[in-house]
Chain A
Amino acid sequence: MTHLEKLEATSVHILREAYREFKSLVMLWSIGKDSTVLLWLARKAFFGHVPLPLVHIDTTFKIPEMIAYRDTLARQWRLNMIVGKNTQAIAEKRTFPDGKLSRLECCKVLKSEALKHTLSGDWTRFRLDNKLGKYVEDTNKEPYTGVIVGARADEEGSRSKERYFSPRDRDSEWDIGDQPPELWGQYKTDFAPGTHVRVHPLLDWTELDIWEYIGKEHIPVVPLYFNQGDGKRYRSLGCWPCTAPVESTAGNVQEVIEELKTGKFSNIAERSGREQDKEDGGGLETLRRGGYM
């Protein structure tokens, strides 16, 4: 088996294990390349089907192409698409840069809080009605207790400490010091009521693996990842006020791969364009303890 085939097989095994063990399971789809690969792997695991809901947290600051791409794929692949947002904070403009919030606080309000309440079911969920072709209020208010996330260990420090199956307590708290052992393809799949689990099938993948797999499988990704003629492209996608494109002429998957292997990015971190990471030393770790993905 090739390196990519092994990564794929491990991720598929993990997805099937999660699907078998957790009754109330969802997958987060940020629309970025990683979680899109994750979605593709779900189609691999379930033989073309995606038998679980996909949750997207819409901050309303996402780059518009991302939302268009999301809904196109959702219709095409008949996805069970759920969207959640912090409607109140957005209405009150408690955001960055409009309000007085720092970037990190804005992430917390628009992403962490919205995610927490969307998963628990106490905030309105919007479900794509594939017949009507639009989003309607979801009648299911049951909490989701298993969440599949596309985090990779190589992204930044705190993510390298994760497990494939990582428990969170009632308040989404994460105890980094005391994590379950994982061996021989056996994971922590037993949970006390009230706790929930995050599943990370992409933990072993690197940014380069992701792109090589996208190339190999011809997975459709948002065109924002490629240079559209202005010598710029996004390497990592987020909200427009906090995500800057990088200078690059890479116009397709092959060119992105070449650039990562040999070019100017081979030694620069992927999230270097994400401003919120720079605000305090352990910025993302702080966010992740509080439930950020």
Chain B
Amino acid sequence: MSAEMEQVNVVVVGHVDHGKSTLIGRLLADTQSLPQGKLDQVRAMCARNAKPFEYAFLLDALKDEQSQGITIDTARCFFKTAKRRYIIIDAPGHIEFLKNMITGAARADAAFIVIDAEEGIKENSRRHGYMVSMLGIGQVSVLVNKMDLVGYRKEVFDEIKSEYADFLGRLNVHPVSFIPISAFKGVNVASTSERTPWYRGRTVLEQFDAFEKGDERISLPFRFPVQDIYKFTEDGDARRIFAGTVETGKVKTGDEIVFLPSGKRSRIGTIEGFNAPGRTTVGPGAAVGFTLQAQVYVKPGELMAKASEAQPHVSSRFRANLFWMGRNPMIREKKYKLKLGAARASLRLIDVINVLDASELSSVTNKKQVDRHDVAECILETPKPIAFDLVHQVKPTGRFVVVDANEIAGAGIVLESIADENSTLKHHVRDREFAWKGSAISADERTGAYGHGAKFVVFAGADAARTEAMAMALEKRLFDGKFKAYYLRPDSLMKGLDADIEPDEVAREEHIRRLGELARILTGSGQIFITSLTEADEYDVRILELLNKPNEIIVINTGAEGLKNYVAALNLSEWMDLNEAVDRACALLREKKVILEYQI
């Protein structure tokens, strides 16, 4: 095997016993891809045991050899033609092994779907058709096998072809060929046969070479999920590197880029690598790193795009096709974890539009949940907007997996971005306030008695120490002025109210949610509740604002970085003198009529 030769991954799928192993065995035998003497050995073994020889035994024999140390893979067989080399992925037909089938098939450039001419289209013929469609395998060839058992009759082939083409068409899969074969007899596998004089198309072997190894990724807009941001300062390295893998498109040094969902912008400074020649441009598939011309603070999980190109969608709701393989069904009452590109977020099932039933070839519209092995069209929601593409526009950033109880339980493709008018959070606040039994004392009465209004004051900035200092200074000033002010550092909740939150990347959402609920309670009690947030973005602030309703929030921005797309009530600078900062915050409170003119 030469490393320079092109390699194509081809998956063979189909219902159990429709002849996948026989086909692969036959193909390996007919192309002299087997180890020396293997064929004779298996024939001899069959003769000794008075069993008829089958090509499927070849695969079994190869599998046996593996445990003795010869390098052929169970799920993967290697063979090559004059044109290029192939990895054949032998996908299990049993439904119990669907997770393995997905894992194998997701790597494929092309697929063969094998259908038994005698048995016709079966449940897994359809289900595998769905999978091929969902996985986005662009090229499919359908092999109608066991033609010897139906007397090589063209009508049988035509009937299956017509029915299955119609089925695949509805999934937007258009096969490049339908081939009538007998894997057992070798008909139309490696060579054409007089048995099917009515067939003039390609053999299976010719179809292998006819698959195109197209790569459309280069022509799509630039997408770079930020996997991590490295700074190895302790090793004397001052570079701040945005690391990840380019999914689509290309970028060059100096290009203006935008991070989504934060909306922050900068320009590519350098393209970094280790023991690699210097580059000024990179394209799809490259696992690289970038430095930026002007520093911006974004978190891993953002999607980097080029400012001059079509932008990804940013929304907290989307419509998707989802395939579920979890032990437990996907239900609406539960929180899941979404992984899309480098982004992680918690995820809720909002609505099941319909479920495609593979066995009945029909769709069910009244389901409330997604069961194991279902393919469902549904509406999903994240608490904060995330950046994504639609799968038919930019495939790699238009697909995702869903984690349930630590397992990848679902895989999906994004069909449509939905405006988040009626987010779950808004519903929640509405329901909460509806159920909220007010006390006998009104908010106005409290304001009158305390001599000030209630307010939730949030200091947000990148410099944690300065931001906290300002928040605490305001609390002190207000307290000294006999106001009921209370400052809480969010970290203080970690061992108490938030002690049960598992520390992971999506935990932040839950911390923010609880802080917002707490604010609602404290402002309801008539206090001026002050907190400080570092690394907060506009969405965090909007969530706090929403959760604190019907009470009001004041956001004070403490640093130059600022909140994108959120107009803070006051902008301070982290270098500002504390007294001055507090003076300005008090002026704002007066202006907002929280405190009255003559006080303080």
Contacts and interface: CB of A to CB of B under 8 A. Distances in A.
A181 B272 contact: no
A207 to B, nearest CB: 8
A3 B3 contact: yes
B408 A180 contact: yes
A88 to B, nearest CB: 32
Contact of A49 (B4, B63, B135, B232): B232
A51 interface: yes
User: On chain B, which size bracket covers the interface?
Assistant: 35 or more
Interface in A178-199: 179-188, 190-192
B69 A181 contact: no
A19 interface: yes
Interface of B: 1-4, 7, 35-36, 63, 66-71, 73-76, 99-100, 102-103, 106, 135, 227-228, 230, 232, 235, 237, 239, 241, 243-245, 272-276, 285-287, 289, 300, 325, 337, 339, 396, 399-401, 403, 406-408, 411, 504
Contact of A180 (B68, B285, B337, B407): B407
Given A3-B3, A47-B232, 5 more contacts: A5-B285, A154-B71, A156-B67, A184-B396, A208-B3
B325 A281 contact: no
Interface centre among A161, A182, A271 (most CB of B within 10 A): A182
A181 B102 contact: yes
13 contacts: A44-B287, A47-B237, A78-B235, A154-B71, A158-B67, A182-B103, A182-B408, A183-B103, A183-B106, A183-B401, A187-B408, A212-B3, A267-B35
Nearest to A180: B408
A160 B275 CA distance: 30
Interface string A149-177: 00001111110110100000000000000
Contacts of B241: 47
A47 B273 contact: yes
A2 B4 contact: yes
Nearest to B397: A184
A45 interface: yes
B273 A44 contact: yes
Contacts of B66: 156-157, 160
Contact of B135 (A156, A183, A272, A281): A183
A177 to B, nearest CB: 9
Contact of A183 (B71, B232, B274, B411): B411
Given A20-B228, A179-B100, A160 B401 contact: no
B99 A180 contact: yes
B3 A4 contact: yes
A43 B289 CA distance: 13
A269 interface: yes
Contacts of B228: 16, 19-20
A206 B87 CA distance: 13
A209 B274 contact: no
Contacts of A158: 67
Interface of A: 1-6, 8-10, 12-13, 16-17, 19-20, 43-49, 51, 78, 153-158, 160-161, 163, 179-188, 190-192, 206-209, 212, 217, 261, 267, 269-272, 277, 281-282, 285
Contact of A186 (B71, B244, B401): B401
Contact of B339 (A157, A186, A269): A186
Interface centre among A184, A212, A261 (most CB of B within 10 A): A184
B407 A188 contact: yes
A191 B164 CA distance: 41
B281 to A, nearest CB: 14
B301 to A, nearest CB: 10
Contacts of A187: 408
B74 A160 contact: yes
Given A44-B274, A179-B100, A208-B1, A285 B73 contact: no
A212 B3 CA distance: 8
Contacts of B63: 157
A16 B243 contact: yes
A180 B411 CA distance: 12
A163 B103 contact: yes
Contact of B399 (A46, A155, A184, A209): A184
Contacts of A272: 69
A14 to B, nearest CB: 9
A217 B275 contact: yes
B73 to A, nearest CB: 4
Contact of A209 (B3, B287, B300): B3
Nearest to B503: A23
Contact of B285 (A1, A16, A44, A157): A1
A212 B504 CA distance: 39
Nearest to A9: B287
A269 B66 CA distance: 10
B286 A285 contact: no
Nearest to A46: B230
B414 to A, nearest CB: 12
B99 A184 contact: no
Contacts of A17: 227
B102 A47 contact: no
A209 B5 CA distance: 13
